[in-house]
Amino acid sequence: MPSLFCLPFMAPVFCLLLAFFMIASGNAQGPPSPGYSPSSRISSVTFNQGFRNLWGPQHQRVYQGSLTIWLDKTSGSGFKSLEPYQSGYFGAAMKLQPGYTAGVITSLYLSNNEDHPGNHDEIDIEFLGTTPDKPYTLQTNVYIRGSGDGNLIGREMKFHLWFDPTQDYHNYAILWTPSEIIFLVDDVPIRRYTRKSDATFPTRPMWVYGSVWDASSWATENGRYKADYSYQPFVGRYTNFKISGCTANSPASCHPPSASPSGSGSLSRQQVSAMNWVQRNYLVYDYCHDPKRDHTQTPEC
């Protein structure tokens, strides 16, 4: 490609930069269309309609249904849904802090840790803070009965994104059904975790949470870079909240929203194609392919 654009008067370094830009631009159009938008079937709610403050109320501001939370050296902040759920679609549009954010986690997740301390289930979307020269990492994770009791078994898959999450709001969501968990970014599935056995799938009701907090011990390159409060505050912005599903008290006849246009079953062929594109181009870690892991503890691999 460089030979097509490099003229005799151009410096070699400029030619290389131009080639890199062309290659990057060719990959920057984003994933192929999934052909279906699960979020379009779900009405938005304001923060106060679906959530309440959990901690750090002095670092939380609600304005016109949207939420801003922030971390400084005194405290972070978190929120929690008004009800627990046994399945459903849980999402929000989020905009992240630019610049130096190493050590800082901005999250949207499901958990029942308050109900089952030391023996809880959890489904995570976590943004791992970064240094200005590197992109954010979006970490997805699933815990099943055991995290916090000295036998922490994470099921992490980490991604970079095909856009800069600090420049605008993008929609991030977890779709949890009795048969699978699907993580979505702007309605594009990026990961599907299927129920292969009761032992490897969360089945107990969970609450929806979000937070910004200091995880310097592990968040950025395994703790190499820590939170630096000379850059405070570290701000997370949330809007366009969507919650639709079966609460813990819903009858057995309740069904969560579907991920696919068919209204039943799993992802369509077009959705799978979009997910495969993301994983080919932007997946940076898969616990199932980590040779350092004991895979007897993750039989789904």
Q: What is the DSSP string of 35-83?
A: S--GGGGS--B-HHHHEEEEE-GGGEEEETTEEEEEEBTTB-EEEEESS
Q: How far apart are CA 19 and CA 23, in angstroms?
A: 6
The number of angstroms, rounded, from the C-alpha of 21 to the middle of its chain's C-alpha atoms is 28
Q: What pLDDT sits at residue 147?
A: 55
**Averaged confidence pLDDT in the chain:** 90
Q: Does the pLDDT at position 21 exceed 80?
A: no
pTM to 2 decimal places:
0.89
Q: Indicate the range of 74-88, 107-121, 135-149, 264-278 predicted with least confidence.
A: 135-149
Q: What pLDDT sits at residue 127?
A: 98
Q: Write down the residue that tokens 């990057």 correspond to.
A: 24
Other C-beta atoms lying within 10 Å of the C-beta of residue 152:
9
Model confidence at 148, pLDDT cuts 50, 70, 90, reads: low
Q: Indicate the range of 122-126, 236-240, 260-264 predicted with least confidence.
A: 260-264
Q: How far apart are CA 152 and CA 118, in angstroms?
A: 10
| H or E segment to which residue 2 belongs | helix 2-5
Q: How far apart are CA 36 and CA 42, in angstroms?
A: 13
Q: What pLDDT sits at residue 262?
A: 80
**Mean pLDDT calculated for residue range 39-57:** 96
Q: Is 171 in a helix, a strand, or coil?
A: strand
Query: Residue 230 is encoded by which pair of tokens?
Result: 């000379």
Q: What pLDDT sits at residue 28?
A: 52
Model confidence at 263, pLDDT cuts 50, 70, 90, reads: confident
Active-site hit among 114, 126, 156, 221: 126
Q: What pLDDT sits at residue 247?
A: 97
Q: How far apart are CA 187 and CA 170, in angstroms?
A: 10
pLDDT tens track for 200-256: 999 999 999 999 999 999 999 999 999 999 999 999 999 999 999 999 999 999 999
Model confidence at 25, pLDDT cuts 50, 70, 90, reads: very low
Active-site hit among 122, 156, 180, 221: 122
Q: Does the pLDDT at position 116 exceed 50?
A: yes
Task: Classify residue 37 by its DSSP letter.
Answer: -
Please say if 122 is a catalytic residue. yes
Domain spanning 41-297: CATH 1.20.1250.20 = no
Q: What pLDDT sits at residue 145?
A: 84
Other C-beta atoms lying within 10 Å of the C-beta of residue 277:
17
- 214 neighbors 234 (Cβ within 8 angstroms): no
Q: Does the pLDDT at position 34 exceed 90?
A: yes
For residues 28-48, one letter each, b for 16 or more C-beta atoms within 10 angstroms of the residue's C-beta and e for the rest, the string is eeebeebebebbeebebbebe
- 191 neighbors 182 (Cβ within 8 angstroms): yes
Which tops the pLDDT comparison, 75 or 7?
75
**Mean pLDDT calculated for residue range 285-294:** 95
- 31 neighbors 38 (Cβ within 8 angstroms): no
In the chain, domain spans: 41-297
pLDDT tens track for 78-106: 999 999 999 999 999 999 999 999 999 99
Q: What pLDDT sits at residue 146?
A: 65
Q: Write down the residue that tokens 């905009």 correspond to.
A: 95
Q: Does the pLDDT at position 17 exceed 90?
A: no
Q: What pLDDT sits at residue 83?
A: 97
Q: Write down the residue that tokens 């986690």 correspond to.
A: 105
Q: How far apart are CA 167 and CA 186, in angstroms?
A: 15
